[in-house]
Structure 1
Amino acid sequence: MSLPTNLSYTEEHEWIEDRGEIARIGITEHAAGALGDIVFVQLPEVGDQIESGQACGELESTKSVSDLFAPVTGEVVAINESVVDDPAVVNADPYGEGWLIEVRVTETGATLTAQQYSELINE
């Protein structure tokens, strides 16, 4: 499994792409694989305030339901409607078309580099 080095990661298996004032957020390939086939995605609404470390959505798979934890604090400015309509996109392309939300960031939580995240999931 390859990890994009341009992203930051969390211990809860989210990734963050820094786009200046806006961050794009999704779950890692490792998380998508552990969940199995994702069948339902619940995301916050545009305009919602989310707080780093707090649950802000859910991903339901054929195996379980898992919380989506906010890796940043800020205002949700976009959600990926295509993953709400077709949750399988998250499994198929977690770092591309399977992104989940975009946030106008006011504070970033603790993050890991690709190398640090790789070490975490391979322990």
Structure 2
Amino acid sequence: MVVRFTPISPAGLLKNAEATYEDDLEFGHEPARYGVSVIAGWCEEGESFDDAVERIVNTSSLNGKTIAATTGNKLREIGLEVVEDANEREPLHHLVGEDPFSEPPRVDLLASLLDNCRRKNPAWTKGVAA
């Protein structure tokens, strides 16, 4: 289960992947990686896809009216990988990119997939994420 908050345009995804690389350089992560930020988790036993999306977005400090929700399997089908990149602020933070994350991912493919998975953020209430 992979959730991306907007932007999901190719330009927005590329900007995010490049910012990840710059952050990795700044904070000494070796090697620096090009990856698009997402939050990710798994469906728990008996949990529907929609229920899992809601649970995952409710763990995040991120907000926004629109998200895209897909699966790791669908990302792998188009040649992308999902790797854990948890941090104190976002314990479910992951990166999407092309192994070994040394070049920007094919954001056109990623944007196309995410655009087809666009939905309202279930945590969005009266203009504020819960």
Q: Above 0.5 in TM-score?
A: no
TM-score w.r.t. structure 1 length?
0.29
Normalized against structure 2, the TM-score is what? Answer: 0.28
> Which structure has greater strand proportion?
1
